Chains A and B, each alone.
Chain A
Amino acid sequence: MRVSGSGTCLPLLEILTKEYGNDRVDFVYLPGLHSGGGIKGVANGDLEIGAVSRELTDEEKALGLDYTLISNDGLVVAVHPSVTIDGLTTQQVKDIYSGKYSNWAQLGGPDIPITILDRNEDESAKIILRKYVLGADLKITPKAVNLYYEPDMIEGLQSTVGAIGYFSLGYGLSQDVPVRYLALDGVEASVENIKSGKYKIVRPLGIVTRSDVSAEVRRFLQWATSDEALALIESQGYAAAR
């Protein structure tokens, strides 16, 4: 069973498929294609399962594909562990990305230059971040670097002193990524806060399948939305869809 799509959603699917005991189905993970690629792949029949980490556009909805929401994943703003601050306000994040600050010392942190890690504008993470934090019109400073994949972002965060970036909370929690998660406006990024709605920066993680899927896929989808799967999802740091 060929699986691809959003780099954010794939880790979650990997967790699920790893635990999925029914059916002897081989899940083959193809390289990440982002959410749009996953949807196109399913529509073309190149994939059986497409991972999507954003809501479908009207155009995409017109393709007649089934969408199953698995989880709501929080997007967390994080810094290199060397940056010893606990949280930022939305404004402070906006200022950092707009290039207003150049050193963490300006924000009450250590004397370390701020290295800004960013994503492309069409990435779901960036879309969500703009939606809830940066705002649609904020001009990103040219000192920031655009990273194409979420893993690059995570690795950059880990290995670059003074770096700031954002990525999937679920992934971060499930993989124990050694970075510092920042509370935003005093709200800690946690599953509870997401479920309670306090933490707003959330992406829907779902699966796109063709409507004429095989029984195996259907059974997997059934299981993926079961209580058992949900408990698993939550235990890994993702917020369950319900």
Chain B
Amino acid sequence: MANNLFGKHLHNQIVYPLLASLVMVGVIAVVVAVSMIGQVIERWIDANAESTIVNVESRLNESSDDIERALKLVAEDRRFEQAVNAGDVQTISAMLVGMNQSLETDNVMLLDDSGAVIASTGRLGLRVGDHPLGAGDRDWVTISMSHPILAGVGKFYTLTALHPVKGPNDGAYTLAVSRVIDDSFVAQISQGADAGVCILDAVKRPVAVAISGNAGSTELADALRESDEVVLSALDERGIEKTWPLRVGGSQYRVKAKQIRFGNDPTRSTAYLAVALPTTVADDARRTTTTLITVWSIVAVVFLVGLNWYIARRVSEPLGRLSESVSKVADGDFSAKVSFSGANEITQLADDFNVMTDSLRERTESLTKKVLELATLYEMSRSLGSTLDLDMLLESVLDSAMRIFDVELGYVTLRNHETGALEVRSYHGAGMGRTDDAAMRASMAEWVIKESRPLIFNPPHDEAGSTGRVDPVSGALAALCVPLVSAEGTIGAITVGSTNASTRFTSDDVRLLATIANHVTIAVGNIDLFSSLQEAYLATVRALAAAVDAKDPYTRGHSDKVAQYALIIGQRLDLSPEQLTALEMAAYLHDIGKIGVAEEILLKPGKLSDEEMGQMRHHPLIGANILKPIAFPWPIAPVVRHHHEHYDGAGYPAGLKAEEIPLLARVLTVADAFEAMIADRPYRRGRSIEEAILELRRCSGTQFDPRVVDAFIRALEECPEALQPAEASPASDLGPEETRAVFVALCDGMFASFRKLGGPRLAANLEQEINARFAADGLPYSLSAGHLVADDDGRDVRVDDLRAAMKAICAFIEQTSGVSLVAQFYSEALEILPERMRKSAEALGLGPLES
């Protein structure tokens, strides 16, 4: 819509057009009414003028009739007839006086047949012999019947009634009765007219004027008396039908004129009558009416506008508030409620709007909750995938779950694989509960794990139940617990709870927590899998390492030491735990390729020929190839492959330079070289640490990565004891393979010494006897060609079995060779073991001294 002329508010759009139209209607109504009133009043005045004229004329006629009638009575009086007939002037005169007085006329006269006065009495002041009606014109007497005329008599203008009277000698005398048409006469005939009335003679000369009632001032009278122009226009032949406006002395009049003539006047004598009606009253009426109409129109407009304003407000205000609320709701403020009093469509709309808002809020809240749940679940699943640390994982899951449910209590229970007992692995108790065994046995988790079913506890609504702790572990008043169910069965439970007794858990919550529990179960399974996988790797690696050590007795313990130094460097370089693990693994296995090198070359004392050296140089490649098919979680093979590369590219097998060489390989190179330098060999003594460090410095940048060398040297300077052999791990820390490897190595060493002294035959006998003994004792070992073979498939290495086996072996050697030889053989066997294995052996207590 284009810009509305009346603004953008509904209220104004309703009010302004209506105001405009009301004002327009009001103005039109006033104008029309006023002009109509003006016309009506004008017509009324004109009609008034007309009726005044008619009235005055009829009164004139009445007067004429009156005097005519009276005249007849007198004229037909016998005594008067006789007096006239007798020419008795005295009697006639006296009778005329009496007649004039009793008729109340102005003049009575008797004229002879020449029109001369015989006798006269009255205002006309005639003398005997006068010819008042004009001697020459006899029209008025020749007609022998009575009639009125309008005639000037002397200095008066009169209404005169004539009546023929028979004179002596058949003279045609005339009796004439006159009313002088003067101001008072006009006043009399115009009485009650409220108008200025003027009578003019036949030549339109004003004769008499009367202003009756409060019709006007003397100015009007003067105007009429002096024949104002307007009056003359009104008297004009063409103007006589019209009404003419006249303005005199500040007052407004309307003038109308008429020619008057008596119907029974055969002489056709004529006069004119002009009336002037004041418009004062009419003007007052018009003004008053106009004012009334205007005032009323204004009042009506104001009232209607007010009403309209009110109605518009009644409509627009709720709409405005609704619209405001709608925009609030659109902005997410669902508290925007509207309420209006009364009952109509608008309040209905408001109610519906409130209902809608509530519904929207519920949906939004539920959506928000879902989104939060989803986000948390997503976060959780990410963290589930990103960590292999069980406790960290459980902590993170529990934290997420508590956030989703907005509760402050929670814990995760897992069944211990070893003991089968339930353990609380992650706990948020807020000090409300306890985790001792008794509490565990009474907990919801215990029940849930046993039943493998979820459990909701919502406290009853009444106050009585509000203090009961449903779950002693968490101390919650309301709690929800779901089992962690894996393929192997229920492995634990996750519990969330609230200290708020009004908290209510729903089946939706159960579903959600069960989903979380599923994730947790899968993650826990993954972690289990991973750790068992890792254990398997470690076992493999150790076995391989043991194999290398077995191949080259001179370098026994070398790998351990290299691993030790490599870790020192690695920590110094701030390598990640994964890299450190990889570095350690690689260090143990770096010489595994030597398996593929002929023993002659490998064990050859002194300098190797070029060909031998060439073979020797194959060992990193061979090692890498051996390791390649094994899918270690860490990149070990490249480290092994390149641990003989030189920083300046002069190394083998690939001749890589500087950064081309994997970092771990560079570290390994330094650690390997250092160990080789300081270790004693059958053919030479090891150099001192200082010499070794000098050598490292010398070759830094050529053979070694300077950064790695620096790190190592700094580490050594700061912490010289790091070079000390690591404390032997307690037996329990040894893996079964290692334990077995130590045992096998010891046994092999002792047999080798025995065979050397006793010869092969005796050794074979001993072998048979020992094997028989092993079988009799149920020990899973056997001797074959001087080597001890373990039949236990790597499982379940029991130290007692080992001790028993060793005891048996020692006992047989003692029988054939004596106690001193046993100790001799044992120490020789121990001597050739790598230091780590030696310590392990001592820790295991396998020696004959212990028996």
Contact = CB atoms under 8 A, between A and B. Distances in A.
Interface of A: 82, 102, 112-117, 142-149, 152, 155-156, 159-163
A158 to B, nearest CB: 9
Given A156-B121, A159-B122, A159-B123, A112 B128 contact: yes
A161 B101 contact: no
Contacts of A117: 94, 97
A145 B126 CA distance: 19
Given A160-B93, A161-B127, A143 B98 contact: no
Interface in B101-145: 101, 107, 119-123, 125-128
A163 B97 contact: yes
Given A143-B88, A143-B90, A143-B91, A115 B97 contact: yes
A149 B102 CA distance: 10
Contacts of A113: 89-90, 93, 119, 128
A114 B94 CA distance: 9
Contacts of A143: 88, 90-91, 94
Nearest to A157: B97
B128 A147 contact: no
A147 B97 contact: yes
B94 A145 contact: yes
B95 interface: yes
Given A114-B90, A115-B93, A115-B97, 18 more contacts: A82-B127, A102-B90, A113-B93, A115-B94, A116-B94, A117-B94, A143-B90, A145-B94, A147-B97, A152-B101, A156-B98, A156-B100, A156-B101, A156-B121, A159-B121, A160-B93, A160-B96, A163-B93
A116 B128 contact: no
Nearest to A117: B97
Contacts of A147: 97-98, 101
B120 A145 contact: no
A79 to B, nearest CB: 13
5 contacts: A113-B89, A113-B119, A115-B93, A156-B100, A161-B120
B90 A116 contact: yes
Nearest to A82: B127
Interface string B135-173: 000000000000000000000000000000000000000
Given A82-B127, A113-B128, A143-B88, A162 B93 contact: yes
Nearest to A111: B128
B125 A159 contact: yes
A116 B95 CA distance: 10
Nearest to B104: A152
A115 B98 contact: no
A160 B93 CA distance: 8
A116 B88 CA distance: 13
Contacts of B90: 102, 113-116, 143
B696 to A, nearest CB: 156
A55 B179 CA distance: 40
A161 B94 contact: no
A156 B91 CA distance: 14
A223 B121 CA distance: 42
A193 to B, nearest CB: 29
B272 to A, nearest CB: 29
Nearest to A160: B121
A155 B95 CA distance: 14
Query: 4 smallest A-B Cβ distances: which pairs?
Result: A145-B94, A115-B93, A160-B121, A152-B101
B128 A145 contact: no
Q: Which of A142, A145, A147, A148 has the most CB of B within 10 A?
A: A145
Nearest to B79: A142
A113 B127 CA distance: 11
Contacts of A102: 90
Contacts of A163: 93, 97, 121
A116 B98 CA distance: 11
Q: Which of B98, B119, B125, B127 has the most CB of A within 10 A?
A: B98
A159 B156 CA distance: 15
Contacts of B98: 145-147, 156
Contacts of B94: 115-117, 143-145
A12 B101 CA distance: 23
Contacts of B89: 113
A82 B122 CA distance: 14
Contacts of B100: 156, 159
A161 B119 CA distance: 8
A76 B89 CA distance: 25
Contacts of A116: 90, 94
Contacts of B121: 115, 156, 159-160, 163
A29 B127 CA distance: 36
A156 B128 contact: no
Nearest to A161: B127
A218 B598 CA distance: 187
A117 B90 CA distance: 10
Nearest to B118: A113
A217 B95 CA distance: 42
Nearest to A149: B101
